[in-house]
């Protein structure tokens, strides 16, 4: 019994140490936040912005929602791997998101808008220019011209809105490609992203104890610190390694996943997705 507890403690330390390069503090919680809310994605403000989905962060006052927002990529060729909550050692541990050349493992959580649990189908880098998949991303094509349409994986189905990886949530393990992506050179969240999280935590309306899980899903204003792209088309496609799955169009809201009692943590958030400015509400696969 003592040995098993020691092993479990060592595993927790290893997980936390692996997260240290992208988080100022280590976060573990023993109870669950709400499931991912359904929300509409705001229109992309311009070239070079990449969608970063909303998630549940944690503070002494409880879980609070950090709305999804468009973020300027810190450098050309970089993609965002969302953070996620995962069950381990009797607690829910936060695994912070990061920027890298490929999309890594984010717990299998279906955040929507191209983040379907594996990879990112919202766009790809072509040379130094990011091209947007308008079947997934809400882009005004009269403003942003680097677009394409890929509807191959869109399917109408009820999605799992669980916001964490583990029993009662998402049962997923990293693919070989995601494990390889974990060995890439990474950058943590930008200063604009960290500021966005701090501002979200200062708004009482974002806390689950106040909004009862019905948080405002997306931020109206994008974060603006990052790489300003050259809009000329480059040569050579630098596409992320991902399974091209996109959230399904669905109007009903599925019930919360079962198994939420003394544990089920969250990165909760969204499931909606638009193809063009007049936004239609979509849910994740």
Q: Which residue segment(s) compose the domain that 78 sits in?
A: 2-238
Kind of pairing between the strands at 164-165 and 84-88: parallel
CA-wise closest residue to 106 among 53, 29, 68, 40: 53
Q: Kindly state whether residue 52 falls inside one of the protein's structural domains.
A: yes
HSE-CB for 65 with a 13 A CA cutoff: 31
Calpha distance 146→48 (Å, rounded): 10
16 closest CA partner among 123, 119, 232, 24: 24
Helices (H) and strands (E) counted in the chain, each on its own, are 4, 14
Distance between CA 74 and CA 85 in Å, rounded? 24
Q: How many domains, in total, are found in the chain?
A: 1
Residue 147, domain member (yes or no): yes
- Residue 278 resides in a domain: no
- Assess if residue 196 is contained within a domain: yes
User: Quick check: is 45 in a domain?
Assistant: yes
| Average confidence (pLDDT) over 70-95 | 93
The answer as to whether 255 is a domain residue is no
The closest alpha carbon to 81, from 62, 60, 54, 103, belongs to 103
Q: Tell how strand 69-72 and strand 49-52 pair up.
A: antiparallel
- pLDDT cut 70: percent of the chain above it: 63
Average pLDDT of the chain is 73
- 208-261 pLDDT, tens digit per residue, is 887 766 666 555 556 555 445 444 333 222 333 323 333 332 323 333 333 333
Domain membership flag for residue 37: yes
Whats the size of the chain, residue-wise?
Answer: 285
Residue 193 lies in a domain: yes
Q: 138-149, pLDDT tens digit by residue?
A: 999 999 999 999
- 149 within 8 A of 141, measured Cβ to Cβ: no
């Amino acid at each position: 019994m003592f040995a098993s507890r020691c092993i479990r403690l060592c595993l927790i330390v290893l997980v936390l140490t692996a997260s240290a390069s992208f988080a100022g503090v280590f976060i573990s919680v023993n109870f669950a936040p709400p499931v991912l809310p359904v929300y509409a994605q705001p229109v992309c403000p311009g070239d070079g912005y990449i969608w970063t989905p909303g998630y549940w962060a944690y503070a002494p006052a409880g879980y609070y929602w950090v709305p999804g927002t468009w973020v300027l990529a810190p450098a050309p060729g970089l993609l965002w791997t969302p953070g996620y909550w995962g069950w381990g050692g009797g607690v829910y541990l936060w695994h912070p998101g990061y920027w890298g050349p490929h999309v890594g493992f984010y717990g299998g959580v279906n955040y929507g808008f191209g983040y379907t649990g594996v990879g990112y189908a919202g766009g790809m880098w072509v040379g130094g220019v990011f091209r947007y998949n308008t079947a997934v991303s809400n882009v005004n094509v009269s403003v942003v011209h680097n677009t394409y349409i890929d509807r191959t994986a869109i399917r109408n189905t009820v999605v799992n809105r669980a916001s964490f990886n583990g029993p009662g949530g998402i049962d997923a393990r990293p693919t070989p490609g995601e494990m390889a992506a974990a060995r890439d050179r990474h950058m943590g969240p930008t200063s604009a992203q960290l500021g966005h999280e701090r501002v979200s935590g200062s708004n009482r309306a974002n806390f689950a104890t106040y909004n009862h899980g019905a948080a405002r899903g997306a931020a109206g204003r994008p974060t603006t610190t990052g790489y300003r792209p050259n809009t000329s088309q480059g040569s050579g496609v630098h596409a992320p390694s991902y399974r091209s799955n996109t959230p399904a169009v669905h109007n009903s809201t599925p019930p919360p996943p079962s198994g939420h009692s003394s544990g089920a943590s969250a990165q909760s958030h969204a499931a909606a997705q638009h193809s063009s400015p007049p936004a239609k509400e979509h849910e994740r696969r």
